[in-house]
Amino acid sequence: MDIFRPYLNVIKKAVNQDPKNSNRLFSNAPDESYDLSYIQGLRNELPGLETLNESRQLIKGLGSPLITSLPRLGNHPDFSHLRSTTATEKHWIISAFVDVQKSTQLHNRFTLATVALITEGIVKASIFAVNLCGGYVHRIQGDGLMVYFGGKNIEKSQATKDALKAFAMISFFVKNDLKDYFESNGIKDIYTRSGIDLGHDNQVLWMYSGIGESGEVTTCSLHTSLAPKMQATASSNGIVVGQYLINQLTSVDKYFNRKSKPIWDYEDGRFYDHYDFNWERYLVDNNFAVQNQTGDILLNVGYNSKHLNPVNLSPIAKNSKPYFDFK
């Protein structure tokens, strides 16, 4: 089940039809110089909630309730009661940041409209992965995201697994599907960097920050601040996580390598460590991906033998009427 294929297909169409790219007119000519009427149609092709619901149903079975809307940005549903108030609340959360690096070079190759569509495709694919894994998008920053995992009705260990899975999927999409296609069009070195950290109850203060509608329900925490610092230390398509996050896992030696220098000095003799995450091995070991005969990793999320029961395939079969014969 190639869950990112619909996003990649739209990006491919935009790149293939871009007049600046196809004519190799790498200039500063404004978009108005070209006929870009096709862009709006391509934007409408980018998948929405329907695709997200189909994936959730395939993974979890028909008992999974449909998602009718996603939480608004800056408004984690478990803490939305703090909005426009001065109240605060302490509660643990996992903070995560992902950003696409060197994407600004796209402006040299494509019209502004195509760059916007590519960015939108990456953002929507990332939002899809986050919500598929139970996370909450807090903020969109260009072609990057700030995300929360966790809340009042989930265990830290599960939220940790959800965060690692979602960000591994995003890294896979950019490193494999997107990178291969970009390189075939002469665009190199576009990659993601991600940072993830966990703050415990006594380390995270939830509050409303801003004035009126110009604000968000957000967190004040050392570990929310450390996540983007970890992102900055990540390698190409790398994910870096904090000590408190990996403390939630039973098996860490295979997937995490401690960095030589700690990410934080408490100035009282204590230090806080961060680790490189081998997300490719994690995906394969946990049946989220498989390796083919040439060693390439293929995303396998949502495809598992236990899900081959025809009842669980019903949502997909409904779209192919000749093959839909479930009672």
φ, ψ of residue 36 to 5 degrees: the values are -115, 25
Q: Which two tokens stand for residue 290?
A: 């498989």
What is the arithmetic mean of pLDDT over 290-309?
61
Other C-beta atoms within 10 Å of 30: how many? 9
> Are residues 171 and 192 in contact, defined by beta-carbon separation less than 8 angstroms?
yes
> Are residues 149 and 162 in contact, defined by beta-carbon separation less than 8 angstroms?
yes
Q: Please, which pLDDT band fits residue 24 given cuts at 50, 70 and 90?
A: low
**Helix residue ranges per DSSP H, 134-242:** 156-172, 179-184, 222-233
Stated pTM of the model: 0.87
Q: What is the DSSP-derived secondary structure letter of residue 68?
A: -
> Has residue 25 got a pLDDT over 60?
no
Sign of dihedral through CA atoms 310, 316, 320, 321? positive
Of the ranges 26-40, 138-152, 211-225, 307-321, which one carries the lowest mean pLDDT score? 307-321
Q: How far is residue 321 CA from its own chain's centroid?
A: 33
The model's pLDDT over 63-108, given as tens digits with 9 standing for 90+, comes to 677 777 788 899 999 999 999 999 999 999 999 999 998 888 888 8
Tell me the domain boundaries of the chain.
Answer: 5-323
Q: Which two tokens stand for residue 101?
A: 């690096």
Q: What is the DSSP-derived secondary structure letter of residue 324?
A: -
What is the arithmetic mean of pLDDT over 41-68?
81
Sorted by sequence, the CB contacts under 8 Å of residue 257 that are 6+ apart come out as: 275, 276, 278
Pick from 118, 260, 101: which is nearest to 193 by CA?
101
Other C-beta atoms within 10 Å of 90: how many? 14
Q: How far apart are CA 291 and CA 156, in angstroms?
A: 30
pLDDT of residue 314: 54
Of the ranges 2-6, 136-140, 264-268, 270-274, which one carries the lowest mean pLDDT score? 2-6
Q: What is the DSSP-derived secondary structure letter of residue 193?
A: E
Which CATH number fits the domain 5-323, given the four candidates 1.10.287.130, 3.30.70.1230, 1.20.1730.10, 3.40.50.720? 3.30.70.1230
Residue type, position 180, single letter? D
pLDDT of residue 91: 98
Length of the chain counted residue by residue: 327
The torsion angle over the Cα atoms of residues 117, 123, 127 and 133, rounded to 10 degrees, is 120
φ, ψ of residue 259 to 5 degrees: the values are -75, 155
Sorted by sequence, the CB contacts under 8 Å of residue 41 that are 6+ apart come out as: none
Q: Which two tokens stand for residue 86?
A: 């001065």
